[in-house]
Chain A
Amino acid sequence: MKNEKRKTHPISYISLILFFSFFLLPVLWILYASFKTGSSITNGKLFSLGGFTLENYRTIVQRGDFLLYSLNSLIIAISVTILSLFTGIIGGYALSRYAIKAKNTWISIMFIAQMFPGVLLIIPLYDLMLNYHLVNTIIGIVIAQSTLTIPFAMWLLKGYFDGIPRSLDEAAMLDGAGVLKTLWSIILPVSIPGVAIASFYSFVVSWGNYLMVSVLVQSNSTATLPIALYRLSSSLTLQWGNIAAATIFIVLPTVILFAIFQRWLVSGLLGGAVKQ
């Protein structure tokens, strides 16, 4: 009986190969293309050993201002993450711990807020930004993108805090700690997976966001990578090599972050459920 369970059925190997091919080959393919010259990509051969080059990366960095866009994307993404975490932690904690009137309404509204389509939200959002002179500013973009991340962060963190026993809070309070201190010193250290995932989610959403930025960006000082990539893919000098390199550029940071954060991925997302 025990031996039967340890043996891995050959179908698992096949399944693994199929899944792996489907999910990872596109990424590997574009990585491969980013190191090849334009003509060696379009020559129609599946694999050719010739034509490897770093030229694509050089081009987009020099000609495409990609370093500037990366910097903008980074600043914006970090700011969005901080804002979302701040709001999410405070709001999530309060929702989790306090018996507030109409609490369920708030929770439902928080949930509903994720449902309203972004395409439509831009217009009133933009009108508001216009009145407060926030168009084409980093702050404006941060605010706009946070509308996408705050509801999820708050919802996620509330769920995670729910899974932490109140006895911890009470013990801290009995020792004389205030609410904020309790949150900071006791609860947060235990909530690393939840916080990690909330920040990871916020960062990724901000990093890849195109819609909001397309409306709010007016100059190089605020342009981000998704805009640059979209522009490049419609450029007259349509070089797949450059596009591939730009794609890797935009993908790499998220992959690296993912590698760092993935150990918290599961526990962060499911919090209480997994523990039970």
Chain B
Amino acid sequence: MRTYKGYIMLLVAFGITALLIFVPLIIGINLSFTNRNLLYPTTQYVGLNNYINLFHDPEFWIAFLHSGILVSVVVALEYVLGILLALTLKQNIPGIHFFRGIVMVTWVIPIVATVIMWQFMSQPGYGFINMILTSIGLKNYATYFFGSMTFAFPMIMILHLWRNVPFFGIAFLAAMQAIPEELYEAASIDGASKWERFKYITLPGIKYTGLIMITIHVIWTFNQFSIVYIATGGGPINATDVLPTYLYRQVWSNYNIGYGASIGVIMLLILLAFFFIFNRTYGRETT
């Protein structure tokens, strides 16, 4: 009897989820096999045509490349910087509790606000970054970074890092604090150096946390639309175009819903592939 109540609970929860998420998802996948375009009243099934066209589409591959670079570089840096931040926060410096408390604030700030803050700081003339550059003699580099072919993509990466490194940092800090102090003491008695203590005690201790963080952030970064769109719209030219912004453009500039849907499905497949491989390699440790 009691088990049935449990089933009903589950049904309710999944019912809600199914309606909200799976129905649109299935409709979306279905759309990818059509040539639906908002400019035309009729829609037909075109099988795999959209996918074949994607394969031959140079803009798609550019966006794909950028997405790939963005995710790998950003998540890798977040991992490394996260560890560094955690190590820093672990120290018993006076006032450290304040910093521990406040550093994750970058993650809760709405993305619109984050982009605006950085755009403001990048304004030529009165932007904070450019004023600093000018004052230390690097005036030639003072420009609107989001409009520069060379600097726009690195700036996008910096935005991602700014937002997410504290998340990594706090998570690693917690994991590090959970490592028993005795392990370190025993190791130093045995003559282990600081680096060896780090490598053989700290790193394994934070492994689980690290894997979860990486998984979450690969998904978030890969699907992240707002940061690039609000900051540069994918420009200048294609310099910062990523798959989500390319999809958006296909849907909202060309009104090519079917084609856009196929990009979405490809994105989903890529993430699934990543998840599958990742799970295979580290699966045991994440369950």
A and B touch in the complex (CB under 8 A): yes
- Measured CB to CB, the residues of A under 8 A from B are 1, 5-6, 8, 12-13, 15-16, 19-20, 22-27, 29-30, 33, 41-46, 83, 87-88, 90-91, 93-95, 97-98, 100, 106, 109-121, 123-125, 127-128, 143, 146-147, 150-151, 154, 173, 178-180, 204, 207-211, 225-226, 229-230, 233, 240, 243-244, 247, 250-251, 254-255, 257-259, 262, 265-267, 269-270, 273-276
Residue from B6, B101, B162 in contact with A179 in the complex, judged by beta carbons closer than 8 Å: B6
- Measured CB to CB, the residues of B under 8 A from A are 2-3, 5-7, 9-10, 12-14, 16-17, 20-25, 27-28, 31, 84-85, 87-89, 91-93, 96, 99, 101-113, 116-118, 120-121, 125-126, 128, 131-132, 135, 162, 165-166, 170-171, 173-175, 178, 184, 188-189, 208-209, 212, 219, 223, 225-226, 230, 243-244, 247-248, 251, 257, 260-261, 263-264, 267-268, 271-272, 275
Return 7 A-B CB contacts under 8 Å, by A number. A19-B103, A42-B125, A46-B132, A117-B264, A120-B264, A128-B23, A250-B110
What residues of chain A lie closer than 8 Å to B275, measured between beta carbons? 111-112, 115
CA distance A264 to B257 in the complex (A): 42
**Judging by beta carbons under 8 Å apart, are B267 and A258 in contact?**
no
Residue from B111, B116, B189 in contact with A208 in the complex, judged by beta carbons closer than 8 Å: B111
What residues of chain B lie closer than 8 Å to A146, measured between beta carbons? 20
**Judging by beta carbons under 8 Å apart, are A119 and B225 in contact?**
yes
For B270, the closest partner residue in chain A by CB is A115
Q: How far is the CB of A73 from chain B (nearest CB, A)?
A: 10
Q: How far is the CB of A132 from chain B (nearest CB, A)?
A: 11
**Judging by beta carbons under 8 Å apart, are A250 and B112 in contact?**
yes
CA distance A253 to B197 in the complex (A): 41
What residues of chain B lie closer than 8 Å to A207, measured between beta carbons? 110
CA distance A258 to B167 in the complex (A): 13
**Judging by beta carbons under 8 Å apart, are A270 and B226 in contact?**
no
CA distance A225 to B6 in the complex (A): 39
| Interface Cβ pair total, 8 Å cutoff | 265
What residues of chain A lie closer than 8 Å to B96, measured between beta carbons? 16
**Judging by beta carbons under 8 Å apart, are B101 and A259 in contact?**
yes
Residue from A29, A46, A124, A179 in contact with B5 in the complex, judged by beta carbons closer than 8 Å: A179
New contact pairs (20) apart from A16-B91, A250-B112, A259-B101, CB-CB < 8 Å: A1-B189, A6-B92, A25-B128, A26-B117, A44-B126, A93-B9, A112-B275, A117-B268, A119-B251, A120-B28, A120-B263, A124-B31, A146-B20, A180-B9, A208-B112, A210-B111, A210-B230, A211-B226, A262-B104, A269-B174
| Overall SS of chain A's interface | helix
Residue from B17, B31, B93, B230 in contact with A151 in the complex, judged by beta carbons closer than 8 Å: B17
For A182, the closest partner residue in chain B by CB is B2
**Judging by beta carbons under 8 Å apart, are B88 and A150 in contact?**
no
**Judging by beta carbons under 8 Å apart, are B268 and A127 in contact?**
no
What residues of chain A lie closer than 8 Å to B20, measured between beta carbons? 143, 146-147, 150
Known contacts A29-B117, A117-B244, A123-B28; A23 and B162 CB within 8 A of each other: yes
Known contacts A87-B16, A116-B268, A117-B264; A24 and B113 CB within 8 A of each other: no
For A99, the closest partner residue in chain B by CB is B3
What residues of chain A lie closer than 8 Å to B257, measured between beta carbons? 123
